[in-house]
């Protein structure tokens, strides 16, 4: 008969108790289910967001010149001034043109006197002709003289109108409401037609210009645009005005827009844009449901019901563009799948889960 020491009996007892405890511990499948929140995958429009860079431009910019050569007599505005349409900006020396206008007036007076004298002589000839005291040739001569005098008067009146027009061109006025952004002339300077005297910019209806890839052209009908000005953290909505094809080699087109809000802008300011393009309809998931692996792959956890129990299974997916916290799924899941959006940080394949939303 075998004999056991007290120490051997104690060791055997510990081993037996340990084995019993190990057999009684629940395995992974029998562990308490992890509570998770899920969302059923639905079809939604796939929104692609393009980041754009652009600038603020003015619809009207005018490089003012003069129609007459002359010396600058006075400048009535300075750099940075805001002017109204028709406001006087610059005046040329008008003394020579004024003398020519006065000469034209004197010539008109002389031509009018000669015309009146020719008319009087013709009237006398007509009276004498009735009495047969003047030759018909003399009467015709006086008619010709009157016609020449009237033509001379018309020419002198046209000459006066020309000098009055030239006098008016000695003043440069604002063609529209604007700011003076450049001034390139000084009093006493001689200027000629074609010289840029100053630059006016209309800042009352500024627009936003962006260069957009041609690949987005066909999707522009339902596109929406948000803009953010340089130095301003807030985004604003903008309304597209027109699309202008550019040089084909650039493979881009010009998108012109205007903000729907009243913003403080100046021409040349940089502006950032977010162009949202609505594409095909397909499944999407919240961004928080995505699990990004070190190897660059992306997956989601799906909750699937098996024998009245929910279990978690990892599924690799191919993702597309994101919008408003959702990401389009191009491949890997289907509409109707239940994706885990909360509690997916430390799941294991086949792990039992409890749905918060059940």
Are 174 and 130 in the same domain? no
Residue 319 falls inside a structural domain: yes
Task: Look at residue 272 and tell me if it is in a domain.
Answer: yes
User: Does residue 17 carry a pLDDT above 60?
Assistant: no
Listed ranges 5-19, 87-101, 278-292; the one with the highest mean pLDDT: 87-101
Q: Is residue 19 part of a domain?
A: no
Overall domain count for the chain? 4
Q: Does 8 fall in a domain?
A: no
CATH number at residue 110: 1.10.287
Domain end residue (candidates: 202, 225, 250): 202
Residues 161 and 190 in one domain: no
- pLDDT tens column, 76-130: 999 989 999 999 999 999 999 999 999 999 999 999 999 999 999 888 888 777 6
For residue 317, give the CATH number of its domain.
2.40.420.20
Residue 335 lies in a domain: yes
Q: What is the 3-state secondary structure (H, E, C) of the chain?
A: CCCCCHHHHHHHHHHHHHHHHHHHCCCHHHCCCEEEEEEECEEEEEEEEEEEEEEEECCCEEEECCCCCEEEEEECCCCCCEECCCCEEEEECCHHHHHHHHHHHHHHHHHHHHHHHHHHHHHHHHHHHHCCCCCHHHHHHHHHHHHHHHHHHHHHHHHHHHHHHHHHCCEEECCCCEEEEEECCCCCCEECCCCCCEEEECCCCCEEEEEEEHHHHHHHHHCEEEEEECCCCCCEEEEEEEEEECCHHHCEEEEEEEECCCCCCCCCCEEEEEEEEEEEEEEEEEHHHCEECCCCCEEEEEEEEECCEEEEEEEEEEEEEEECCEEEEEECCCCCCEEEEECCCCCCCCCEEEECCC
Residue 195 and residue 76 share a domain: yes
**For residue range 209-218, what is the model confidence (pLDDT) as tens digits?**
999 988 888 8
7 within a domain of the structure (yes/no):
no
- Summarised one tens digit per residue, pLDDT across range 160-207 is 999 999 999 999 999 999 999 899 889 999 999 999 999 999 988 889
Q: Is residue 109 situated within a structural domain?
A: yes
Residue 10 domain-assigned (yes or no): no
Give me the domain span that covers residue 103: 94-169
């Amino acid at each position: 008969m075998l004999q056991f020491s007290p120490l051997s009996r104690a060791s055997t007892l510990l081993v037996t108790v340990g084995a019993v405890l190990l057999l009684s511990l629940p395995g992974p499948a029998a562990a308490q289910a992890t509570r998770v929140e899920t969302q059923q995958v639905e079809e939604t429009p796939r929104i692609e967001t393009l980041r754009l860079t652009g600038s603020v431009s003015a619809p009207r910019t005018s490089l003012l010149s003069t129609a007459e050569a002359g010396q600058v007599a006075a400048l009535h505005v300075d750099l940075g001034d805001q002017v109204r349409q028709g406001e006087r900006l610059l005046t040329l020396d008008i003394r020579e043109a004024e003398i020519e206008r006065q000469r034209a007036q004197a010539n008109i007076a002389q031509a009018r006197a000669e015309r009146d004298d020719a008319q009087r002589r013709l009237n006398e000839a007509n009276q004498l002709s009735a009495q047969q005291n003047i030759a018909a040739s003399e009467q015709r001569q006086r008619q010709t003289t009157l016609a020449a005098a009237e033509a001379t008067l018309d020419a002198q009146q046209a000459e006066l109108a020309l000098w009055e027009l030239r006098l008016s061109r000695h003043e440069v006025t604002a063609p529209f409401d604007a700011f003076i952004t450049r001034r390139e002339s000084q009093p006493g300077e001689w200027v000629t037609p074609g010289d840029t005297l100053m630059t006016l910019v209309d800042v009352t209806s500024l627009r936003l210009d962006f260069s957009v890839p041609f690949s987005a052209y066909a999707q522009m009908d339902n596109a929406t645009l948000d803009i953010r000005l340089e130095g301003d953290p807030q985004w604003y909505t903008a309304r597209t005005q027109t699309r202008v094809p550019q040089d084909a080699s650039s493979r881009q087109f010009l998108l012109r827009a205007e903000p729907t809000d009243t913003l403080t802008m100046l021409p040349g300011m940089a502006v950032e844009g977010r162009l949202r393009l609505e594409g095909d309809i397909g499944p999407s998931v919240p961004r928080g449901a995505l699990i990004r692996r070190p190897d660059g792959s992306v997956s989601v956890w799906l909750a699937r019901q098996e024998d009245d129990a929910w279990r978690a299974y990892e599924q690799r997916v191919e993702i597309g563009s994101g919008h408003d916290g959702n990401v389009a799924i191009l491949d890997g899941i289907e509409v109707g799948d239940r994706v885990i959006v909360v509690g997916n940080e430390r799941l294991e394949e086949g792990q039992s889960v409890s749905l918060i939303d059940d």
